[in-house]
Amino acid sequence: MGEQTTTTKSMDDIMALCKRRGFVYQASEIYGGVNGFWDYGPLGAQLKKNLRDAWWQDVVMLGCCGKAGPDGKPVRIVPVDTCIIQNPKVWEASGHVGGFNDPMVIDQSTPDGKRFRADHLYGMYLTWSIDESPDEMLEVLEGYANDTTRDFPHGPNLTCVASGPEEALGVFRSVEKKIRAEIRVYEGSHRYPVFEYISKRGDHDKPIFGAVFPVPQWILKRHSACVPSPFNAPSPELFAQIPPQGKVSELMAPRAFNLMFKTYIGATATEDDIAYLRPETAQGIFINFKNVVDTTRVSLPFGIAQTGKAFRNEVTPRNFTFRSREFEQMEIEFFCHPDEAKAWYTFWRDWRMQWWQDLGLGGENLILREHDTDELAHYAKEGAGTSDIEYRFPFTAPGYGELEGIADRTNFDLKQHQEHSKKKMEYHDTTRGELLPNGQPKGEWYLPHVIEPSAGLDRGVLALLCEAYTPDPDRPSKVYMKFHPRIAPIKAAVFPLVKKDGMPEKAREIHAALVTRFGRFGAIEFDEKQSIGKRYARMDEAGAPFCFTVDGQTLEDGTVTVRDRDTLEQTRIPEAQVPDFLGERLGL
């Protein structure tokens, strides 16, 4: 790893090279593109495949490269390949339907456009007629909340951000004694507090009634101008500034909140046929956990691995391929006994970090970051922890962007699927439990805990591209791609120094030999056009680690020159040793 950090690299230059050399194209480019989608060109596709293969080989086929697990035994991983479209109930169980991403509302009246979760916005509604009863009021409110076709008489008089109606009531109660007394908690279909209210304004001292009620999304969409800005712990001055009903407020409509792509199964395309493109590959693994256990001779602890496309209707696709709407994941769900989760979490976190480093993402650009407890996902709160392997991309520098997340998901997913599918997900562990008189363990039933190392393949490719990109004003190409030989899309090139004297023929022989042996791992280039300098320069930009050149001396003593991409050094080796030389450098 050189001193070159990504902070000194230009993302624009990297993107230009990606286009120029056929790594990444904008998807549907000739039609103006589609936001959030990218295509891989010839070199990019090979690079991506090499990374996916490296993961597959090291994780699945070699079981963590043969490294022993925390129990001292080989790590067992088996693969699956599950559908992008599953029964919609899968996504209800996983929690993706209805709330994958929380809807946000922006308050533009605050200087920095403060934003908060729309479902945390509560309103204080007051009866608009003194004679109304609280029951009538709630009835009307709930009726309007459910029927989005009717026009709402008016929005809430006050709003605040709170985690629940009770907390919201507390905030409202603190507003300058506007609320004299809380009458009771309404015992209807919801638990929304109803209170007695005496206005300081006006000349009536009869109580009127108010209720704390969530502000429905559709009210925000259609009546954002009628909804007062939210506040917390208001001062008297602030309260005086709350826009009265009907006046302009700056709450914006909440943004879309289901980030799954919808589609239809069958040709009729009715509401009953709705299905979703998976937002993660993980659920395909969880729902097949029992199948794998029942049909494969695996026993806990073991992992199930899968690579594949996933889809998220991101609000803001950005940063080249970093946040795409269609992307590929490399996921492992590793199942183990709850007592062993901590040890396995640590094991995976450290090994996955090591893996990325071994592929060339070493140095200061790669960090392992343990999550703070307050940023944990709901399913990980009880677990041993969550950590990210993060890379310092040029567009995130000096910060980092996530490459892979390692999370202890506890038994959350299996439990969810067990509840929703009514199918038993528990694992019968015959190695546990008290010993029976005959010396056999009694066995133990339990829901395994899951450690999930989930990596973004496209993000991995992007990180490799950024890391490899190495400006060098001293060489003709001004830049070269310093790919690790293992993942380099072009493994080597063979050139005749000049196109005469039998050099092209000799070079073709060497080229053919290399293709036979290494062609399945990546491209072996042959080029006899133009000057040798141009050909070297082209290989620099493509990131080919080695170039073999046939020259006049080759025809005399059978040696060729090897040009090292990174050091620019040239050494002579016998022609017959070229395949072994390359094989050794590629680790094959």
Question: Is 314 among the residues that bind RNA (CB under 7 A)?
Answer: yes
Question: Is 489 among the residues that bind RNA (CB under 7 A)?
Answer: no
The 3-state DSSP class for residue 574 equals strand
Binding track over 243-272 against RNA, x by CB under 7 A: ---------x--x-----------------
Of 52, 278, 312, 511, the one binding RNA by CB under 7 A: 312
Tell which residue, 497, 331, 511, 319, has the closest CA to residue 397.
319
Binding track over 34-73 against RNA, x by CB under 7 A: xxx-------------------------------------
Number of CB atoms found within 10 A of residue 28's CB: 11
Rank residues 64 and 560 by Cβ distance to RNA and give the closer one. 560
Of 209, 492, 563, 582, the one binding RNA by CB under 7 A: 563
Q: Which of the residues 403 through 432 are near RNA (CB under 7 A)?
A: 403-405
Tell which residue, 326, 378, 341, has the closest CA to residue 70.
341
Tell which residue, 354, 318, 348, has the closest CA to residue 459.
318
The Cα–Cα gap between 499 and 48 comes to 34
Which string of b and e fits 284-309 if b means at least 16 CB within 10 Å?
Answer: bbbbbbbebbeeeebebbbbbbbbbe
Rank residues 26 and 109 by Cβ distance to RNA and give the closer one. 26
Q: How far is the CB of 421 from RNA (least distance, A)?
A: 22
Q: 125: which 2 tokens?
A: 């509604």
Q: Which of the residues 272 through 301 are near RNA (CB under 7 A)?
A: 280
- Segment contacting RNA (CB under 7 A): 136-144, 233-241, 357-365, 448-456? 448-456
Q: Give how far Cα 192 sits from Cα of 138, 175, 371, Å.
A: 9, 19, 35
The 3-state DSSP class for residue 164 equals coil
What residue spans of 211-259 are helical by DSSP H? 217-223, 236-241
Of 119, 382, 402, 472, the one binding RNA by CB under 7 A: 402
Contacts within 8 Å (CB) and 24+ apart, 393-396: 393/6, 393/11, 393/319, 393/322, 393/462, 393/463, 393/466, 394/6, 394/7, 394/9, 394/10, 394/11, 394/14, 394/466, 395/11, 395/319, 395/320, 395/322, 396/319
Q: Which of the residues 139 through 198 are near RNA (CB under 7 A)?
A: none
Number of CB atoms found within 10 A of residue 189's CB: 9
- Segment contacting RNA (CB under 7 A): 48-56, 211-219, 309-317, 575-583? 309-317
Question: Is 348 among the residues that bind RNA (CB under 7 A)?
Answer: no
The Cα–Cα gap between 414 and 447 comes to 7
In contact, 161 and 250? CB cutoff 8 Å:
no
Question: Is 365 among the residues that bind RNA (CB under 7 A)?
Answer: no
- Segment contacting RNA (CB under 7 A): 28-36, 72-80, 344-352, 432-440? 28-36
Is the peptide bond between 301 and the residue preceding it cis, with omega within 30 degrees of 0?
yes
Q: How far is the CB of 232 from RNA (least distance, A)?
A: 17
Question: Is 544 among the residues that bind RNA (CB under 7 A)?
Answer: no
Sign of CA dihedral 244, 248, 250, 252: positive
Give the CA-trace dihedral at 289, 295, 301, 306, to 10 degrees.
Answer: -50
Rank residues 58 and 280 by Cβ distance to RNA and give the closer one. 280
Q: How far is the CB of 438 from RNA (least distance, A)?
A: 47
Q: Which of the residues 86 through 105 are near RNA (CB under 7 A)?
A: 101, 104
Using CB under 7 A as the binding criterion, the count of chain residues that bind RNA stands at 75
Of 7, 570, 574, 580, the one binding RNA by CB under 7 A: 570
- DSSP letter at 29 equals G
Of 115, 222, 432, 517, the one binding RNA by CB under 7 A: 115
Of 427, 551, 582, 586, the one binding RNA by CB under 7 A: 551
Q: Which of the residues 316 through 335 are near RNA (CB under 7 A)?
A: 316-320, 322-324, 327, 329
Rank residues 100 and 195 by Cβ distance to RNA and give the closer one. 100
- Segment contacting RNA (CB under 7 A): 29-37, 409-417, 428-436, 573-581? 29-37
Residues in the chain: 588
Of 8, 16, 73, 202, the one binding RNA by CB under 7 A: 16
Q: Which of the residues 197 through 236 are near RNA (CB under 7 A)?
A: none
DSSP 478-539: SEEE---TTT-SEEEEEEESSS-TTHHHHHHHHHHHHHHHHTTTSEEEE--SS-HHHHHHHH
Q: How far is the CB of 275 from RNA (least distance, A)?
A: 21
In contact, 414 and 424? CB cutoff 8 Å:
no
Q: How far is the CB of 570 from RNA (least distance, A)?
A: 5
Q: Which of the residues 496 through 535 are near RNA (CB under 7 A)?
A: 497-501, 529-534
- Could you give the angle at which helices 457-468 and 11-20 cross, rounded to 10 degrees? 100
Of 74, 98, 99, 113, the one binding RNA by CB under 7 A: 113
Q: How far is the CB of 38 from RNA (least distance, A)?
A: 8
Of 52, 349, 392, 459, the one binding RNA by CB under 7 A: 459
